[in-house]
Amino acid sequence: MSEVSVPVLVVGGGGCGLAASIFLSDLGVGHLLVERRATTSALPRAHYLNQRTMEVFRQHGLAEDVYAVSAPLENIGEVVWRTSLAGDGPLDARDLHRMDSFGGGSTAAPYAEDSPGPSTNLPQHRLEPLLLRHATERAPGSLRFNHVMEGFTQDDSGVTALVTDRVTGESTTVRAQYLVAADGGRSVGTRLGVSMVGDGGAFNVISVHFSADLSAHWPGDKVLITNFVSPDGGRISRYGMVAMGPDWGLASQEWALHFHLPVGVTPETDDASVTATVRELLKLPDLDVTVHKVSQYIPEAVIADTFRVGRVFLAGDAAHRHPPATGLGLNSAVQDAHNLAWKLAAVVGGHAGEGLLDTYEPERRAVAERNVPWAMYAFRNHAVAHAGLGLFPGQPPEATKANFEALFSETPMGETRRVRAAEVFRTQRVEYQAHDIEIGIAYPEGAFVPDGTPPPPLDPMGAEHHPVTIPGHRLPHAWLDPGEQVSSHDLVGAHGGFALITGTSDGAWAVAAKQAADALGVPIAVAPVATGRWARVRGVDDGGAVLVRPDNHVAWRSGADGPDRLTDVLRRVLAHQSTGS
């Protein structure tokens, strides 16, 4: 039996694990990733990449490759509700509502102002191979697919795991200082006795990934998602469909159709039955359909009772699972890996105390405790939109049809119904315009030095974002040059350094930064910026400065009296010791 020793063992080769591998490589941390599957996901399930994730990808040199194959903003900027995709009946193919989404249309200005990374759409079955390529290039020989971790133990100095090659049967003993469980909660957390606490599990969602030419029927080149509410009633009357590329808008060749069946109904998943269901729901009886994959999942809104057990850290779905609404699952997973990677690098590299790793859970749990229930709320709010149409569970099909006839009638009451429906549909902006939920990431405690400033008010609908430099908050984005090529987010690179954004070019802060960097062995890039948007959001006077962590969260900020305290502040952030500051 062979033996391998690495600083970090990553279990799981999905989006979270592959992102963790890339980030660890960029930070100079040796690691081994093991994944039980032979290859990356065949499912297109997760697809929306929000602005915060694209900022992370920008930092680590991934964004350009993602944008090259993902959906342009002009093809994801609208969501539609319809009675059906096609059909020739009086209630068929009728629009119920249209909503700007994800930085398109009326949402374009705030999304563009608040981030250097536009949102995009790239299904999981295309994103994961891209991440795998980057991870393999940065850590050759360190990613082992078709390998399963049979078990592990841990002690005061590390983790010992048994990993088996599923093809050859050969086993390897892996000794690591730390283990990152990015396995979706399928093994590591269970073995550690971690419980998932929360809501969900009421029904199965069936997802059909198929190819078809729908260019003559899809409701617009800007439309990413179409939600269907059928006037016909029947066993499947509420369902949704997402364009999945590889070309976009009306040119999309692949689609994902999602629906759920009544409790107790067993789905027929053979190709012939699924093809018939697709044709029936889309009202295209002669549609040429190629079914790629049929899958099932149970929407959950659950959070692990702990994100850390000794030297094992849970990330992504192993730590929290979201319903699909608002697209927070994969995005949160990538951001977990981003938060954890720089901390592991600092501790493994000897630049931080072990206590820095204690900040992973309180920081990321705070995000999960906001995002997980939000996703379930947005998921269930679709039923509110249906109620706005006058539809209720158990309603007979003839009543449903009568409601739709009344809705579209050219009468004063028909107009009232349509206006009411539009008002209720607008509440679904909690899913499609959740700008602050996506980028308003603020840690109430963790690896930063608070200054006592209360956080800005939260928009109850999750849209309005307030950029601030309060410690613990995501760093506000501001373009720093007239050509809009360099963002405040670009001042921190991919390799683990801090940035100090000052408001003046005098030397006091530069001298203090060099002293702190020399004392703690951590690079600090000093950038004097005093104009433009940054001057409006920096939250300190011209003689002050903002200290930025390697993950682009604010670690500390101070007025002009701060240079003498910088070294002690950085010691505190890196958990070398507690200091008053």
Q: What angle do CA 502, 504, 508 make, to 5 degrees?
A: 80
Closest of 199, 207, 428, 474 to residue 320, by C-alpha: 199
- Asked if 325 and 462 touch (Cβ cutoff 8 Å), the reply is no
Domain 78-106+200-297 in CATH 3.30.9.10: yes
CATH of the domain spanning 2-69+118-197+301-373: 3.50.50.60
The reply to whether 448-573 shares the fold of 2-69+118-197+301-373 is: no
> What dotted CATH number matches 448-573?
3.40.30.120
Q: In the sheet that 320-321 helps form, which strands lie side by side, from edge to edge?
A: 196-200, 300-304, 320-321
- Half-sphere exposure at residue 171, Cβ-oriented, CA atoms within 13 angstroms: 10
Question: Identity (one letter) of the amino acid at 487?
Answer: S
Q: Alpha-carbon torsion 560, 564, 567, 568, what sign?
A: negative
Residue 310 backbone zone (phi > 0: left; psi -120 to 50: alpha; other: beta): left
> Is the peptide bond preceding residue 460 cis, with omega within 30 degrees of 0?
no
Give backbone dihedrals phi and psi of 553, rounded to 5 degrees, phi first: -110, 150
CA distance 100 to 82: 15
Question: What distances in angstroms separate CA 296 from CA 20, 479, 558, one per listed residue?
Answer: 27, 43, 51
The CA distances from residue 275 to 209, 286, 413, in Å, are: 11, 10, 39
Q: What is the longest distance spanned by two Cα atoms in the chain?
A: 80
Q: Which residue is listed with tokens 């992370």?
A: 56
Q: How far is the C-alpha of 529 from the C-alpha of 527, rounded, in Å?
A: 6
Q: How many CA atoms lie within 13 A of 562 on its CB side?
A: 26
Residue in this structure with the two tokens 């939260």, named with its chain if needed:
458
The whole-angstrom separation of Cα 567 and Cα 511 is 11
| Nearest in space to 550 (alpha carbons), one of 278, 344, 401, 273 | 344
Q: Which pLDDT tens digits describe the chain residue by residue (581 residues)?
A: 799 999 999 999 999 999 999 999 999 999 999 999 999 999 998 999 999 999 999 999 999 999 999 999 999 999 999 999 999 999 999 999 999 999 999 999 999 999 999 999 999 999 999 999 999 999 999 999 999 999 999 999 999 999 999 999 999 999 999 999 999 988 999 999 999 999 876 678 999 999 999 999 999 999 999 999 999 987 788 999 999 999 999 999 999 999 987 667 788 889 999 999 999 999 999 999 999 999 988 899 999 999 999 999 999 999 999 999 999 999 999 999 999 999 999 999 999 999 999 999 999 999 999 999 999 999 999 999 999 998 888 888 899 999 999 999 999 999 999 999 999 999 999 999 999 999 999 999 999 999 999 999 999 999 999 999 999 999 999 999 877 789 999 999 999 999 999 998 779 999 999 999 999 999 999 999 988 899 999 999 999 999 999 999 999 999 999 999 999 999 999 999 644 44
Bridge-based pairing of strands 238-243 and 300-304 is unpaired
Pairing of β 223-229 and β 158-165:
unpaired
The rounded distance, in Å, linking the Cα atoms of 237 and 512 is 65
Domain-by-domain residue ranges, the chain?
A: 2-69+118-197+301-373, 78-106+200-297, 375-423, 448-573
